[in-house]
Amino acid sequence: PAASRPDTSRRDSTAAAPADSALTVDLLGRLEFKGERTKNDRCFANQLYSLTFRCASQITPQLDFTFSLRSLGTFADRVRVDVDYDSQREFDGSNTISLAYRGREGEFLERVEVGNVTFRSPTSRFITSGIPSGNYGIQASGRLGPLRFSAIAAQQRGNVLRDTVFTIGGRAMRVPERTIHDYQVEARRFFFTVDPALFAGGYPNVDILNPRQMGELAASLPETRRPQRVSLYRLIIGGQPPNPNGPQFTILGDPDSRAGQVYEQLREGVDYYIDPSQLWIALVRPLSLANERLVAAWTLRVGGRDTVIAELGGTPDLEFTRDHPQYAHLLWEPGLEADDPAFRREIRSVYRLGGDDIRRETVALRIVAGTSGDQEKPPGLANTYLEVFRLAQSTNRALFDSDNRLWPRRQDPNFNLGASTVSAASLIRDVFIVFPSAEPFSRRGLAFAPTLVANDTIYRTPAEYLYSAQHPQSFYRLVATYESSGSTSPGTIALATSQIRPGSERLTIEGRVLTRHVDYEIDYDLGTVRLLTADSLAARPRRLTMQYEENPLFTSVPTSVAGLTAEWLFSFGSLSLTAMSQRQRTNFTRPPLGFEPQASVVAGLSAAMGWNLGGLSRALARRLPLVDSLAPSRFDLVAELAMSRPRQGGGEQAYIESFENQGGIGVNLLESQWQYSSQPALGARLPGRIGGATLDTTRAGTLAFQNYGTDVDGRAVAFTIQQIDPLTTLAGGAIAGFEQVLWLTLYPLAIGGLGDPETGQSRWRVRGVPSGRRWRSIRTTFGAGGTGVDLTRAEYVEFWTQADTAAIRRQQNPVLILDFGDVSENSVAFAPESLRVAAGDSLYTGKRLQGWNRLDSERDRFSRAFSADVNDLGLPGHIVEELHVIDEGIPLLVRSHPTCRLGAGRLLPLGDMRINCTVRNSRLDEEDIDQDATLNFTADQRERERLRRFIVDLSRPETFNRVGICGPPVRDVNQSHAPGSTVCWVQVRLPFNAPDDTLGGGPPLRRVRALRVTVVSGTAKPDDRYTQVPL
């Protein structure tokens, strides 16, 4: 039978302690030995020479040793042991290791502790709340006459949490305080259905919670603009639609929009709430920042009749139809710019306060400004910010109007039509703070007074920046306090935390300190407190204050603690001194600004003295009647002086930008991430550099791209970084692995490829090709699902490649064209026209474009799903649409003929185009970059591409940033380089903000979707010689 898992729960060391002279040791160990072997039947060529991955590995032995040790007791009458360690515990802070020495009576040193120690300081009102009890180090305490002292040197292990206040009685009520910055709006959830710019004279000061104003705005719209009944639709970009037969809309007002994407209709009262005015909606859940689009279509009431006018309100259809075009209005999609009309449809005046556990009547709100966070009034004005931004009550300007400014309100039709029970009848279960303006903090909104600071950036910042490091600067903060009801039973408190350090909690009810095992029980792992006498403690609503310490999940900044306490005891009281130093140690070599190590010193002096004043009782008895002269009188003096001061070392430094683990955005050079691309747009600069006719489709040649291959002798071609860059040095015992290199081989125009498996010779010949330069392009996508990457902070484009630096052969080096942005999806692919089958040999001839001006994908056309067993059929170019075959003199017409088939785990010669075969390659191949299921540009529209273009002419030495290792070129089977030539690795470094050309105004740098690399042969390259360049 399988061995049971040992008990790893933490033991309470204060319970069931053995006798003073006994020492118990409980050791449980488990040793497991096994061997593993990994074999991948679908192995790719680039995995054959990886240091960390093998297609078939040897049996690897594994040794796993786990143990637990529990020991409690004393030995030598002076040393106490308390060990509770388990190697399988999730958090190291849950283990306890403690050795304590107890001195003899009257000795100078009374106690020495090693391991888990707790800093015991005299009672203080200010200092003890900031001293963590969980430390690991050494602590000593002793006594010298009337002086008692204690010293500690340890590493901090715990986090001190401030007081948490609950209201118990019935259910536990928590009273948190939450701060919301002005830019932290509830994004991608609240939208206007119509363009708010149509609200003449009202926008942006539109109060969406004012039914009268919303009704007036709706009535002010003409009949052809006023929605009568709104339908919402959501699109999952790059995903599978829930209903494959859903409507396929063209976006109104977008000339580049094309039908083809399948939308999902949302259900009113289930997926979204719509205001009775039909002018704004609220989604049950926010839209995805990366891959969701929201559109709307509505009916109009013209002449007293409900009608559909497609060009005005769209077509609110339930499913796809071919009877008429389908149109809709765009409400939101990823990549919207501030100047887009749909950008202002998002409502950014709503802030989420919390869930349905909030008691609305207890919400108190303040709006503050300034760095101190306590400035509630603008300079020179008597009104508070709460009044200025119109959130105050009409009868009491000092209080927040929770009845009217918290949404949903009780009178709102917030019903969940899909709920199965009455308790779940609310559709929107969150609580939001709604301002009476669409732009409350803008200059044209409610911050119109010159004395107010306006924050217009909030309403022009793209959605992905609001909650990122590039968020707008915060000028105002919403500070809210409220009571939050718990979902636990009466007498039980959920702390919403775990891994509480044992013994660190301190509970008080209205000043009375509670005792564990008497008044309450606590589960440290689950973070729950159960009151044992709930019937008496929680008989009425009472305030419970709790302070505790938790083990951090991750100790990111090591902190050392050194402290000293001293207490002088007198006959009339005591005088105590506490001093503690905390210092952090950074894990960074170049700490970024804000992560530099901090240090502080905390010190305090407190006195507690008292004197009995018997004479005062006698004097009062003589002067006042009914006063007992024997009643005690006493004078107590309690005083404390404390200070906390940061201590920054003179040598501490912080860097505005750290280059550790921030080497920019790497382009994935894995061959499976690249595909054949489109014909590049000419732009303004390219015709003058390479000629306007060079990029004609008749000059497009075959291009092979691969990571690993063999040379003419059958040896694998691979390079380490030291074989490329001579300035690279490896420290210690580091081993340099093989670099990921993408080899690009451009064929002569007369050779189509399709090498023979036996001889390696090309079986595809093309006649009548033009002479001169040739080209071909490939592309890779950034991000998942066509989302793109943010390149707004990119500074340089860097890569290594090979070039012939000899002046006599320099003009044979190719030209690389790097295009970042929205490239055309109209991939250039061609296939042979005919096949002549002969005994022992076959020959393909001719050349014809395939799939031109059409978007091709291996996805299922109906469900948009992909299955390698069913859909991995290949793309045009590798699948010939019509092939004329002559088999032993018999003419045949074959349709959908595959010209290749990629086998897994094959290492082909360098420059063999069969490595790029899309037929049965066990992965999805498609031309759709933005995942919208439609072709973005046809051949006639390719000049509409939005690009940042860099033209790298490797025949010009000034292109190189520096030259690396030089040597003979790789001897490939195609003989790409002339005999006796020498090539050098060269580094190219291009300023990203200084492109050679910008097409279509440039791409949105927030979402750069693709990189297209075009290889153009050199001006002096012979027509019959291959061009080879690695990246």
The one-letter code for the residue type at 968 is: P
Spatial separation of the C-alpha atoms in residues 932 and 251, rounded to whole Å: 12
Percent of the chain having pLDDT more than 70? 87
Give per-residue pLDDT as tens, 918-965: 998 888 999 999 888 889 999 999 999 999 999 999 999 999 999 999
Write down the pLDDT at residue 625.
73
pLDDT at site 4: 47
For the segment 16-45, the average pLDDT, to the nearest whole number, is: 74
- Whole-angstrom Cα distance, residue 123 to residue 581? 18
Q: What is the overall mean pLDDT for the chain?
A: 85
Closest CA to 838 of 900, 751, 912, 756: 756
**Rounded mean pLDDT, 736-765:** 87
Q: In whole angstroms, give the CA distance from residue 98 to residue 85.
A: 11
Nearest CA-CA partner of 826 in 667, 920, 697: 697
Structure tokens belonging to residue 110: 């009374």
Residue 113 Cα to chain centre, angstroms: 44
d(C-alpha 524, C-alpha 548), whole Å: 10
268 contact partners, CB below 8 Å, separation of at least 6: 232, 274, 417
Q: Write down the pLDDT at residue 51.
A: 46
Predicted confidence band of residue 536 (pLDDT cuts 50, 70, 90): confident
Tens of pLDDT, residues 86-98 = 888 766 667 788 8
Lowest-confidence pick of 230-234, 414-418, 982-986 = 414-418
Q: Of 518, 976, 911, 892, which is closest to residue 703 (Cα–Cα)?
A: 911
CA distance linking residue 1024 with residue 863, whole number of Å? 46
d(CA 593, CA 658): 9
Reported residue count of the chain is: 1031
Q: Is the predicted pLDDT of residue 2 greater than 50, yes or no?
A: no
What pLDDT does 345 receive?
Answer: 95
Identify which of 86, 72, 78, 69 has the alpha carbon closest to the alpha carbon of residue 12.
Answer: 72
Query: Phi first, then psi: what are they for 4, rounded to 5°?
Result: -75, 150
Residue 212 has pLDDT above 70, yes or no: yes
What is the pLDDT, as a whole number, of residue 16?
A: 47
* Triad 750, 756, 760: Cα angle to 5°: 80
pLDDT tens by residue, 461-489: 998 888 887 889 899 999 998 887 755 56
Comparing 15-29, 339-353, 899-913, the range with the smallest average pLDDT is 15-29
Per mean pLDDT, which range of 481-495, 501-515, 606-620, 708-722 is the poorest?
481-495
CA distances from 731 to 101, 639, 693, 734 (A): 45, 59, 51, 6
| Burial class of residue 257 (count of CB atoms within 10 Å of its CB; 0-12, 13-18, 19+) | middle
- Lowest mean pLDDT across 327-331, 349-353, 616-620, 1025-1029: 616-620
If one compares 23 and 646, the residue with the highest pLDDT of the two is: 23
Under 8 Å between Cβ of 363 and 400: yes
Mean pLDDT of 28-35: 88
pLDDT at 613: 81
Cis status, amide bond into 408, omega within 30 of 0: yes
Q: What is the pLDDT of residue 840?
A: 66
Q: Is residue 204 reached through a cis peptide bond, with omega within 30 degrees of 0 on the bond before it?
A: yes
Whether residue 835 contacts residue 886, with contact meaning beta carbons closer than 8 Å, is answered with yes
Q: Which residues contact 912 (CB under 8 A, 6 or more apart)?
A: 704, 706, 709, 755, 760, 973
Q: Residue 480 CB: number of other CB atoms within 10 A?
A: 20
Higher-pLDDT residue of 812 and 120 is 812
Q: How confident is the model at residue 661 (pLDDT cuts 50, 70, 90)?
A: very low
pLDDT score recorded for residue 657: 58
C-alpha pair distances (Å), 875 with each of 134, 632, 703, 829, 857: 63, 101, 16, 9, 7
Burial of 235 (0-12, 13-18, 19+ CB in 10 A): buried
Work out whether strand 327-332 and strand 250-251 pair parallel, antiparallel, or are unpaired: parallel
| pLDDT given for residue 160 in this prediction | 57
**Of 388, 384, 361, 390, residue with least CA distance to 481:** 361
pTM surpassing 0.85?
A: no
> Residue 8, Cα to own-chain centre: how many angstroms?
34
Which of 644 and 85 is assigned the larger pLDDT?
Answer: 85
Going by pLDDT thresholds of 50, 70 and 90, the confidence category of residue 812 is very high
Structure tokens at 622: 């003589």
DSSP result, 363-386: -EEEEEESSSS-B-S-TT-SS-HH
Residues 668-703 pLDDT 10s: 999 999 999 999 999 999 999 999 899 999 999 999
DSSP 8-state code for residue 288:
P
Residue 773: band (very low, low, confident or very high) from pLDDT cuts 50, 70, 90 = very high
| pLDDT reading at 17 higher than 80 | no
pLDDT at 950: 97
The confidence score (pLDDT) of residue 734 equals: 66
